[in-house]
Amino acid sequence: MLDDNELLRYSRQLLLPRFDVDGQLALKQASVLVVGSGGLGCPVALYLGAAGVGELILADDDDVELANLQRQIAFDEQAIGRPKAEELAARVQAINPDIMVTARIDRLEGEALVEAVGGVDLVLDCTDNFNTRFALNRACVAAKVPLVSGAAIRGEGQVTVYDSRDESSPCYHCLYPEQGNEDLTCSEAGVIGPLVGMIGATQAMEAIKVISGKGRPLVGRLLILDAWQMEWREMKLARDPDCPVCS
């Protein structure tokens, strides 16, 4: 049930006929793992925490740097040198003290990653390297946990949802071969600040839809944004019948 404070806090969401109390209770009962507490992870965590997701686990082993402040909106200069996950968790908790927020400043890999993914209802990939993306994908497919994936660099971004509970849904490996991909980071290629906010906010919306069962999540669809032209394109995604991960 929702108490009086929650009814007031989430009143604007509760007014939505397609969301209502059922949707809010689904958020309250959900546990979500956000991997990456940078440009994408900041808006994702802030919006999901404010929306009332019951448990958020924020994972990142990096510290805040001055160059992050141009786009990582949860941090200020006082946070420089501090662990990103801890600073972001504190900011989310300050916005909504009624939820549980845990920071993990260790690198999630191997058994630790498998265990973390298996203990939540949803995972959001807010990382910036292929190795972590592939590992997250394998863990989510094995545990049948939905994965909301986002990426942003330069002035381009993309968002999709991989849901291994749906037999028609592709996984990350269906789209991208594990060999031949090289990481290209924002420190090398650059990124415009509002772009990561747009992609992160879209990831948060997709997460709310997946958790609540409301609306039509981006399963089997890839949204691609060219922020300089302000054009969104949609691509249909098909499952690879020969995928070594999800076939």
- pLDDT tens by residue, 10-44: 999 999 999 999 999 999 999 999 999 999 999 99
pLDDT of residue 187: 73
pLDDT digits (tens, 9 = 90+) for 71-101: 999 999 999 999 999 999 999 999 999 999 9
Confidence of residue 180 (pLDDT cuts 50, 70, 90): low
**What pLDDT is attached to residue 19?**
95
Domain 4-236: which topology? Rossmann fold (3.40.50)
Q: Is 35 exposed, middle or buried (0-12, 13-18, 19+ CB in 10 A)?
A: buried
* pLDDT for 186: 76
* Alpha carbon separation from 112 to 94, 103, 107, 155 (Å, rounded): 28, 14, 9, 34
Quote the pLDDT of residue 184: 67
Lowest mean pLDDT among 61-65, 180-184, 214-218, 233-237: 180-184
- Segments of the chain assigned E as strands: 31-35, 55-59, 100-104, 122-125, 147-153, 156-162, 221-226, 231-236
Sole residue written with tokens 């594990």: 178
Percent of the chain with pLDDT over 90: 92
State the Cα–Cα distance between residues 188 and 194, nearest whole angstrom: 18
Q: Domain spans of the chain? A: 4-236
Look at residue 189 in the predicted model and tell me its pLDDT.
82
